[in-house]
Structure 1
Amino acid sequence: MKFLLVEDNQELAHAISSRMQLDGHVVEHASNLKDATAFVETGEYDLILLDIMLPDGDGRSFLKTHRASDLDTPVIVLTARSQISDRIGSLDLGADDYVTKPFDHAELAARCRAVLRRRAGKSQTIIRSGGVEFDPVAGSMAVQGQPVTLRNRELRLLELLINAPGQIFSKQKLSDRLFSYDDDVSENAIEVYIARLRKHLDPSDLKITTLRGLGYRLDNDA
């Protein structure tokens, strides 16, 4: 999945990004509200991790604007403020959860998973379809009961497609979700990952259909 991290502490931002990337997520980093606003205006994210005290303002103003614009991307607030009133205020503005600094990175990762599950309306993360069993949290996949090893971006590509069966994804949209702005992406990168995933899915009833000029769609042939 693709996360936006809004945090001005560079050391902490690096630590959070590294942990999330180990879990296979793509992380964009903004160190101030101006950059964060630019990111959400031009990109699409599955989750926003938002610090409150930023160099150019209060992160809660960003949250308020974000919710007023009808964008429903889940937001987890990162705050050094431990007062209950501060936490309640963030939740009332539309935050989905909050984590008080300092925090354990494993806890933050768990809270991210919980928020994403709630937003998807799921109590479990495991998805079963067409002979495929996929656990995006564990990063595991089985086809017809046989474990399959996927690379991180193959996992995230499958996650995008299997969560929206029948939906068409253009190459640009897939690229935006799988890579960060800093990644050096070749023109055929998406084709390479599609080909790899197709090979893994071959024994199942799930097929990736190419729609010329439009993109790709996951179909269930069962």
Structure 2
Amino acid sequence: MKTNIIYLLFLFLNFGYAQKINKTIALPDIKTCEEPISLNDPNEREFNRINGKIIRLSYSTLYSYTFSGYDSLQRDNLRFEIAKISQQIVTKVLPQVKLLNDSIFLRKTYNEIMFNTVPIKQYKRYRTAKNLIIEDNSDYQLFIESLFSVGIGKNMNSISFFVFDLKKGKIVYFDRMHYNCDIRDLKALEKVLTYGLLKIKEKY
């Protein structure tokens, strides 16, 4: 319970902070991450309800949100850039995955995403899963969420993996991990995403 409260405070305090700062300030220079990457992969909230193997998997997108007081246009551009890069990483690890058009999804506000992912992550209220799904004829669909801070103390990143059963319209797999690093260090991002995707590949 304490962890939940701290997590929610991190979300809302940083979100409020980001709204108050001058949004015309450019993002700071990229900081290269230290090696090896310090990855925290707690298992108390992850779950796996996939029966058998994943067949016919599609990938919607990686939706990233920057907790930062910097230029909002830069942050939006970064979201689209990271989503595009994630497609390359996902298809590298899961070559049979079907990529979907994520342009509409990426234009959603973080409030629209957050009010659907937080109930799943914190309270296992799975009814919001349908709002995170792109209509498709696949059996399962992968969605990734990334929350990170830039220029606010340490660069804290949270990566969450969601797999939805499209026939039942509910989530069947969830995994979340954290690492302290600049999300714009793409080599580090690839390593973390690959780690999470390989766990899913065991079911694919």
TM-score by length of 1: 0.25
Q: Which has the larger radius of gyration?
A: 1
